[in-house]
Amino acid sequence: MASGDPLVLGIETSCDETGVALVRGNDLLFDAVASSMDEHARYGGIIPEVASRAHLEAMVPTIERSLGEAGVSLDEVDAIAVTAGPGLVGPLTIGVSAAKSLAVALDKPLYGVNHVIGHAAVDQLVHGEFPERVMALVVSGGHSSLLLVDDVATSVTELGSTLDDAAGEAFDKVGRLLGLPYPGGPHIDRLAREGDPTAIRFPRGLTARKDQAEHAYDFSFSGLKTAVARWVETRQDAGEAFSLEDVAASFADAVADVLTAKTIAACQRHGVDTLVVGGGFSANSQLRDMAALRCAEAGIELRIPPIRYCTDNGAMIAALGSAVVRAGVAPSDLGIGVDSSMPLTTVTV
């Protein structure tokens, strides 16, 4: 950490977590998160209005906690970074409004940054600066994206993304049809560790030869989700007993297989020898194990930050903001809006 690096306050409110963090260079001073997940569990999914109200209530206390634990004052902050997209419009608006207020009150530059790219940038707080070129696989409840990163602050190319359900979204939907609590991902992960991943051969979306030309790096999990539903319903209708553990393991194996196979192929085709995996779904044990195995076989360095940095948090936004500021990127205009479908080639607004 260089003493001259700017102190960046990062604010994340793209979904149901209110995240605030302070980063200087690649050094995290403190990361505070307030989650409203419990308020959404009874609905079986995120309710944007509930999330927005929770952000309003949590914003000031979370900022104060982050500053207090880091031992710094607002006057010491050099720049404000905030998630401007993609995400839910209401929650994004709360975060951007708070960031604008701070920027005006403190007379500090504002940077509206990309949430998905933040999931990759946060790895620099753990494993240091990226090499000249890395591949980033960002997988979460809303995103399954494959990014070629030449410079995390200025040059990101989207190679592929999900065409329907993201990996985490598919896990939640399969969890629901298996009668598991929301969110389904952690419960399926737990069951899968006790099951046989080879028990059922579920389909691998967009891996057929005919899909390679147009969708070599794209993902599709909607068909897989439907295949699991039909398999379970057929046995339930026939009164046949089956192992939830085997269903979970076979489903999880299919998702991890597709994600890692396409990502390794992209690394090899683009001459990349470092892979960064981020996003909430990167906590999945099957994905972590398969990525480690296949990267080792291919001679690719695998970088996955600890689980606390994989779910939505302020550290990822402060980390990306820090990279952007140090790269000399111009600040955002105070009139910026939010973009629920922000392109992944847009690092800053």
Distance between CA atoms of 170 and 234, rounded to whole angstroms? 20
Q: What is the DSSP string of 310-348?
A: TSS-HHHHHHHHHHHHHTTPPPPPTT----TT--TT-SB
The answer to whether 115 is a known ligand-binding residue is yes
The answer to whether 185 is a known ligand-binding residue is yes
The answer to whether 228 is a known ligand-binding residue is no
Element (H, E) at 287: helix 285-298
The answer to whether 26 is a known ligand-binding residue is no
Distance between CA atoms of 172 and 41, rounded to whole angstroms? 11
The answer to whether 142 is a known ligand-binding residue is yes
The answer to whether 284 is a known ligand-binding residue is yes
The answer to whether 138 is a known ligand-binding residue is yes
The answer to whether 119 is a known ligand-binding residue is yes
The answer to whether 312 is a known ligand-binding residue is yes
Q: How far is CA 51 from CA 39, 100, 117, 192, 272, in A?
A: 8, 20, 22, 30, 38
291: left (phi over 0), alpha (psi -120 to 50) or beta: alpha
Contact 345, 148 (CB under 8 A): no
The answer to whether 189 is a known ligand-binding residue is yes
Axis crossing angle, helix 244-269 with helix 285-298, rounded to the nearest 10:
40
Binding residues for substrate: 138-142, 172, 185, 189, 284
Which residues belong to the annotated binding site for Fe cation?
115, 119, 312
Cite the annotated binding site by residue number. 115, 119, 138-142, 172, 185, 189, 284, 312
